[in-house]
Structure 1
Amino acid sequence: MTTDAACDRTTPLRAGCQGEPPLTARLEPWMAELLADREACHDLVERYGSPLNVHDFAPLTRNAAELTAAADDAGVDLRIFVARKANKTLGMVEAARRAGLGVDVGSFRELEQVLAAGMSADDIVVTAAVKPRPTLRLALDARATLVLDNLDEAAAVDAEAAGTERGAPRHPVALRLAPRPSDRIPPTRFGESVATWLTWARGRDADHDRLRIDGVHFHLHGYDAGARAAALGEALELVDELRALGHRPGFIDIGGGIPMSYLDDAEQWRRFWQEHDDRPDALLWRGKPLEQVYPYHQELVRGPWLRELLALPVGPRTSVAEALRDRGLELRCEPGRALLDGCGLTLAQVVHRSTTSDDVPLLGLEMNRTQCRSTSDDFLVDPVLVRAAGGAREPFTGFLVGAYCIEAELISRRRLRFPDGAGAGDLVAFPNTAGYLMHILESASHQIPLASNVVADGGGYERDGIDAVSPIRPM
């Protein structure tokens, strides 16, 4: 489906701001409805400040159902955990709980908050890259599944679990596998090899150890289904060897990295990169090329991607799905973006227009670049301009800049065109930011408060509970 076909009804919304060339973001119906209501948008920013993260988690259930349907069709049991690190709101946790999903946590506070929110320990997996002793203690006390990353961490868990009373329930753990690097699988800092984990497991009593090995986990960078299949092959090898030792792992967890698309139009994405390479000076700030970006359009996303993965070979005569079914293994995953697709947008207020000393037009926003950025070089889809009431403005083409006192404080490095102008009091909306873009890098430098977060509630929007435990803009 092309952008033109998909977005006819939202064309007026998009007319105020377009990239050169355009990258037209998909808008959920709730986003289009809100952005078409100029008064509602300005009232929200007036009440909660700029920038403001606006959420509606209704799409999360639909996104998860797409994955579940793909697994069901392949006869595979699937358990989905939402990556909490992708969005810090308690509204997301509640939406996951209502949808029957689990939550993947990456820190003590994330774990503490989801427990306080009423999530069952069976629905929590602790995958934190670094787990200090208090995090281990809380996970063990709660009986949430702990993913063991390395031998030092495993030893620390043993030390913490040593005080467990004899006869008490055993603590559930999963072993994080570091797959062998290959042309398809890059080296990783996460996990240990099959051989290392087997050496560790051989010295343990499979029936009476305080730790119960429930599964195998891995974490890969990128979105290649073939790489996941190769890693699954190694994970199956580890499962088989653990079972031969008397352990009973019942799942393989492929982590995150399930793809999504911010754009419907593949041709726009292709054209952007062609022009990026041919004339970066016309597209980008100071002509500096982008180096690391999220693939904003992907051909296979969510359900179709999972169907492809499950059909890939994992041995000479068997597919991933067949291998999982034959062993009675549950497949687990921990998506972030793919589940939060369509669940949020960010509103920021224009404070001023200006120019650089060499006459490049700028639009200054009351936000900073960490408030709409992940680990990629840039947020690439076209923003939506929500005009303030008032007279006409002069058209211009320029760049969005933020509040930090840094020469390259760019909200977007793309050159943007404002056919009807823009100025102080207008709002700029960044679509589809709920997954990582709002929170993963946000900073309160310069003593500037973090953005507030609101969640759809009964036809309106209410401040999310996370703002009660985070530095926020005063009312």
Structure 2
Amino acid sequence: MGLTGADARAGAGPGSSDRCAGTVAAPVPARRDPWEQQVLADPQLLGDIAFAVRGPFHLMYPPRVIDNIRGFQQVFADAGISGIVYYGKKANKAACVARACATAGAGIDVSSTGELTAALGQGIRGAELLVTGPEKSDELHWLAARHGCLVAVDSLGELKRLSALDIPVRVLLRALPAASASRFGMSADELDLATSEATGFPSISLQGFSFHLSGYDPDPRAELAAQLLDRCRAARALGHPAGIISIGGGFGVDYVPAADWAAFQQQATRRWFHSGKAFESYYPYSFPEPGPAMLTAILRTGDLADRLRRTDTTLAVEPGRALLDRAGSTVFRVQGGKTRHEHGQPYRILTVDGTSLSLSEQWFDSEYLPDPVLWPDHPGDPTPTVVGAATCLESDMLSWRRIPLPREAVPGDLLIYPNTAGYQMDSNESPFHELPLPPKVVLSEAPGGRYRWALDQPCP
């Protein structure tokens, strides 16, 4: 968590001491894969891309997506259960990610006609698509039914609209978790009614149930999945197939080592931030059981895996961020900088050729904390640095935190924010000021152990 209450007003975070009374933030180094290390070590690649693109850009590395998918699939195999991985497409629109899903045998979770058609265009079959979202449009219903998609139904009214199409359609009924104030899903009574009424709709094939939970605790997911197993059994007694339970997404990502994240949390002070900025909370950038490990923990809770095996029930998951872990970075060019003083200490304010809309934690009134990398790697003196955008808005800051860069950045340098593929890249992007949206640049391996690049190419 970030600074709150009296700590925020006093400018001292939990565990603050004389050791952290300075104005330079503790480093928050991101974990890096070999492909990232090779890209940063290449003396030409990033510079060549920046020269060609002439603006900020997003790097994508699809093989990492495939590895992440296979990590989830391996958990299912090790547990001896039937499982389906659906990529939550809203986390990143890149066509190369959808193509990676097709390559790895994963499905895709879509919530609009645009997402559905984009997935089909990259080789995902209709039967491999899960259509989610509240009170979906008639057009989306029709297209999903025509392509044989699995549809997560949010209300009894939506179920009735689907049945009126008179096209065979496979559905899951989305459950509203007990004591939840969510606008999504159906209560226990509504699920009972929908399950009963579905028997009277010849075109509806009730395949099972789904839910989504906030937070990252495995136990509530396992407990609710177990409850839905009982609902599947009751639905089967009514003649429905009811052999699938989807537990949604929300699988954590381990961005930074635990020790570095703990040091940041314990030492955080408003003196580390431009203008004394304070945030109420941050994403948990260190996660002890990320992605597939979290799925393993869910399956072990309450012998869920054993119950799934005994009832011949398929478990579906809908990760977004977790399938994009270390699959991409965002690159900005430094346009200039100036020196400011606060609390008697100097620091640099950089302006880069993009906006904070490409780092979407600002959507949650928060800050994207993994340290950016300054490229090229030249010797110099450590320089505390904040990063502003190329707009006329005072609040448009990519990094309010005084990042301990290894040297003073100069115009033409590149600043690479790591691990941004999950939600950061394009959830909030906008051509504000008529600035072009940063393109996605796809890396692939080339002969000789180097990388080649091309622009991401969605189907027309």
Q: 1:286-305 residue pairs with structure 2 within 5 A?
A: 286-305=275-294
CA deviation string 1:74-130 (max 9, x = no partner)? 221111111111111111111111111111112110101111223111111111345
Report the Cα offset of residue 71 of structure 1: 2.2
- Contact 2:389 2:396 survives alignment (8 Å): yes
- Contact 1:122 1:144 survives alignment (8 Å): yes
User: Equivalent residue for 1:167?
Assistant: none
Q: 1:373-452 residue pairs with structure 2 within 5 A?
A: 373-374=360-361, 375-376=363-364, 377-387=366-376, 396-452=383-439
- 2:333 is the alignment partner of 1:349: yes
TM-score of the superposed pair, with normalisation by structure 1: 0.85
User: Equivalent residue for 2:178?
Assistant: 180
- 2:108 is the alignment partner of 1:108: no
Aligned equivalents of 1:43, 1:144: Cα separation in 2: 42
Q: 1:2-401 residue pairs with structure 2 within 5 A?
A: 20-129=25-134, 131-159=136-164, 161-162=165-166, 164=167, 170-181=168-179, 186-205=180-199, 209-263=202-256, 265-276=257-268, 280-313=269-302, 319-355=303-339, 361-374=348-361, 375-376=363-364, 377-387=366-376, 396-401=383-388
Q: What runs of 5+ residues in structure 1 fail to find an aligned partner? A: 1-18, 165-169, 314-318, 470-475
Aligned equivalents of 2:443, 2:149: Cα separation in 1: 29
Report the Cα offset of residue 22 of structure 1: 0.8
Residue 354 of structure 1 aligns to a residue in which SS?
Answer: strand
How many aligned positions are there? 428
> Are residues 242 and 285 of structure 1, via their aligned partners in 2, closer, same or farther at CA, if it must alter by over 3 Å?
farther
Aligned equivalents of 1:274, 1:286: Cα separation in 2: 21
CA deviation string 1:154-176 (max 9, x = no partner)? 233233x13x4xxxxx2111111
Aligned equivalents of 2:225, 2:169: Cα separation in 1: 24
- Contact 1:198 1:241 survives alignment (8 Å): no
Aligned equivalents of 1:29, 1:126: Cα separation in 2: 35
> Are residues 130 and 89 of structure 1, via their aligned partners in 2, closer, same or farther at CA, if it must alter by over 3 Å?
farther
Give aligned-pair identity as a percent. 30
- Contact 2:94 2:440 survives alignment (8 Å): yes
Aligned equivalents of 2:192, 2:173: Cα separation in 1: 10
Q: Which moved more, 1:393-402 or 1:413-422?
A: 393-402
- Contact 1:388 1:427 survives alignment (8 Å): no
Aligned equivalents of 1:310, 1:433: Cα separation in 2: 29
- Contact 2:198 2:204 survives alignment (8 Å): no
Aligned equivalents of 2:225, 2:64: Cα separation in 1: 29
Report the Cα offset of residue 394 of structure 1: 7.3
Q: Which amino acid aligns with 2:198?
A: R
- Contact 1:49 1:452 survives alignment (8 Å): no
In angstroms, what is the RMSD of aligned CA positions? Answer: 2.2
Residue 214 of structure 2 aligns to a residue in which SS?
Answer: coil
Aligned equivalents of 2:82, 2:108: Cα separation in 1: 17
Report the Cα offset of residue 48 of structure 1: 1.6
- Contact 1:387 1:422 survives alignment (8 Å): no
CA deviation string 1:246-292 (max 9, x = no partner)? 211111011111112011x211111101112xxx2222233333223
Aligned equivalents of 1:419, 1:298: Cα separation in 2: 27
